[in-house]
């Protein structure tokens, strides 16, 4: 017992000593240290640097020791378009509460507002980034957090703009509560596994709201993707979980809500796809479960491009889409079951809530359009309605086993608080 008390006291003392050993350096126009660069140079590991309100014209700030850097009253760091602004190359660094502006644009180097290199346990929180090239660039860094940042770009062309938050060879990073606007890709993941992305807003981006490349075992939930070139693109990845996201108004001649290319073994559940030209565009993707999603007022709810096997679509609501499902082949290995289709015209004599006549989601016209894209110009012509009707009565061209055998008569009520 005595020993335990001794240990406790000893531990407490140590903590106190360590705490007291940590210094706090203040930076302001009238302080002893007037620049952040200077403060970082003089600081000892585990010190805290507090930067007061003001504008600091600095760039290439290299942080090579564990530090906590806090901006008080939203100080502005102006990079004057000269290059990278903050580079973190040490574990346990926290950067909080800054406004970082004017990152240099380059065609050879990816300058970032805040870059993290080969580090662990970093926290980047409550920063605002404006007029940037790349926003937050994480490379080969693990176990960190990127929380509640606001990134406001002014990207015009894809070739000379960067991404909002980029992860390259990173694992176990949490990206949450960020708002990314008007950059090339809102959030971009390459070779990054076990990433948690939640409660972000990614809007008005040139290319994708969220972009996965060769990244596995990632989860994204409760995000909003609005008005991007394409909401989310998931390419060459496996085991991605996509829950409760909203994909809206990704509307344009080449826009998608969700673009899937070479994705396997993933789950897409509880998402809302509203007013996208194409809700989900699927190419070469296998064993994906689509459950409890809402597809509302899209041009195409689901466009299947080919080489997609063993996918299941259950308990989704397809509401008022111009085309529910489009297929470009006669072979079907995907299962549609117990979905609600607003275009369903069958009946339910035994009153069990399931339509007695199977529903065929692929219209002949969407099949023809897939074959000869120019025919789309006949959209909403009376002739098209007539051939769609006759195909519905006796299918000739569309895959005849592609049907929902148990179409629901009422929309599924998804419990979003599951």
Partner 1 sequence: MLKILKYSFFDLMRSRWSYVYFLFYLLLGIVLLFLNNDLSKAVITLMNVIIILVPLIGTIFGVMYYYNSKEFTELLLAQPVKRSSIFLGQYLGVALSLSMSLIIGLGLPFVFYGIFNSGAIWDFSLLLVTGAFLTLIFTALAFVIALANENKIKGFGYAILLWLFMAVIYDGIFLMSLVYFEEYPLDTFSLVATMLNPVDLSRVLILLKLDISALLGYTGAVFQKFFGTNFGFILSSLLLVIWVAVPTFFIQHMAKRKDF
Answer yes or no whether residue 377 interacts with partner 1 by CB under 8 A.
Answer: yes
Cβ neighbours, 10 Å, residue 111: 23
292-297 long-range Cβ contacts below 8 angstroms, 24+ apart: 292/316, 292/412, 292/414, 293/268, 293/269, 293/317, 294/319, 294/414, 295/319, 295/321, 295/324, 296/272, 296/320, 296/321, 297/321
Q: Does 382 bind partner 1 (CB under 8 A)?
A: yes
Rounded to whole angstroms, what are the CA distances from 48 to 20, 26, 138, 201?
Answer: 12, 9, 22, 31
Binding-site string for partner 1 from residue 246 to residue 285, where x marks contact by CB under 8 A and - marks none: -----xxxxx---------------------x--------
Return the residue of 105, 286, 322, 343 that touches partner 1, per CB under 8 A: 322
3-state SS, residue 338: coil
State the minimum distance, in angstroms, from the CB of residue 378 to partner 1. 6
Q: Is 73 in the site for partner 1 (CB under 8 A)?
A: no
Considering the complex, state which of residue 256 and residue 340 has its C-beta at the smaller distance from partner 1. Answer: 256
Shortest gap between Cβ of 48 and partner 1 (angstroms)?
Answer: 52
Q: Is 386 in the site for partner 1 (CB under 8 A)?
A: yes
Q: Which is nearer to partner 1, 305 or 406 (CB)?
A: 305
How far apart are alpha carbons 272 and 257 in whole angstroms? 10
With CB under 8 A as the contact rule, the residue among 384, 392, 409, 412 that binds partner 1 is: 384
Interface stretch with partner 1, choices 186-194, 201-209, 309-317, 382-390 (CB under 8 A): 382-390
Q: Least Å distance between CB 220 and partner 1?
A: 26
Q: Residue 211 and residue 228: Cα distance in Å, rounded?
A: 12
- Range 200-239, binding partner 1 (CB under 8 A): none
Residue 129's DSSP bridge partners are 100, 151
Given the complex with partner 1, which of 136 and 258 has the nearer CB atom?
258
Sign, CA dihedral 400-293-237-161, equals positive
Does 328 help bind partner 1 (rule: CB under 8 A)?
no
Please name the residues in contact with 333: beta carbons below 8 A apart, sequence gap of 6 or more.
308, 309, 310
DSSP-derived 3-state class of residue 85: coil
376 contributes a contact to partner 1 by CB under 8 A: yes
Q: Which of 161, 110, 160 is CA-nearest to residue 138? A: 110
In the list 46, 378, 399, 409, the residue contacting partner 1 (rule: CB under 8 A) is 378
* CA–CA separation, 118 and 168 (whole Å): 11
Q: Least distance (Å) from partner 1 to the CB of residue 375?
A: 5
- Contact residues for partner 1, defined by CB under 8 A: 251-255, 277, 299-300, 322, 368, 371-384, 386-387
């Amino acid at each position: 017992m005595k020993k335990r008390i001794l240990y406790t006291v000893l531990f407490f003392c140590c903590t106190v000593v360590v705490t007291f050993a940590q210094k706090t350096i203040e930076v302001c126009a009238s302080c002893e240290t007037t620049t952040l660069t200077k403060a970082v140079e003089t600081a000892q590991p585990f010190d805290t640097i507090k930067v007061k309100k003001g504008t600091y014209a600095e760039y290439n700030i290299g942080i090579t020791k564990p530090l906590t850097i806090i901006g008080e009253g939203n100080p502005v760091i102006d990079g004057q378009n000269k290059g990278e602004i903050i580079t973190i190359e040490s574990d346990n660094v926290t950067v909080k509460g800054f406004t970082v502006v004017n990152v240099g644009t380059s065609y050879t180097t990816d300058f970032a507002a805040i870059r993290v290199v080969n580090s662990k346990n970093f926290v980047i929180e409550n920063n605002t980034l404006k007029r940037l090239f790349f926003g937050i660039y994480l490379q080969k860094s693990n176990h960190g957090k990127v929380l509640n940042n606001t990134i406001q770009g002014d990207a015009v062309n894809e070739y000379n703009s960067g991404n909002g938050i980029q992860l390259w060879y990173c694992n176990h990073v949490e990206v949450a509560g960020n708002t990314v606007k008007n950059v090339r890709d809102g959030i971009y993941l390459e070779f990054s596994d076990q990433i948690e992305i939640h409660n972000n807003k990614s809007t008005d981006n040139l290319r994708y709201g969220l972009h996965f490349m060769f990244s596995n075992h990632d989860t994204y939930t409760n995000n909003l993707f609005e008005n991007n070139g394409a909401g989310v693109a998931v390419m060459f990845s496996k085991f991605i979980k996509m829950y409760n996201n909203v994909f809206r108004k990704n509307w344009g001649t080449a826009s998608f809500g969700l673009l899937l290319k070479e994705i396997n073994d993933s789950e897409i559940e509880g998402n809302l796809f509203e007013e996208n030209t194409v809700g989900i565009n699927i190419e070469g993707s296998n064993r994906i479960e689509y459950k409890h999603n809402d597809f509302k007022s899209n041009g195409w709810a689901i466009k299947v491009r080919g080489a997609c096997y063993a996918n299941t679509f259950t308990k989704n609501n397809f509401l008022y889409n111009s085309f529910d499902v489009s297929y470009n082949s006669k072979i079907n290995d995907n299962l549609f079951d117990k979905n609600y289709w607003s275009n369903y015209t069958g009946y339910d004599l035994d009153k069990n809530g399931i339509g007695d006549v199977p529903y065929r989601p692929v219209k002949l016209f969407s099949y023809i359009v897939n074959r000869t894209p120019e025919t789309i110009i006949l959209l909403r012509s009376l002739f098209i309605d007539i051939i769609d009707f006759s195909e519905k009565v006796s299918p000739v061209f569309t895959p005849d086993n592609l049907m929902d055998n148990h179409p629901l008569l009422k929309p599924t009520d998804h419990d979003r608080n599951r």
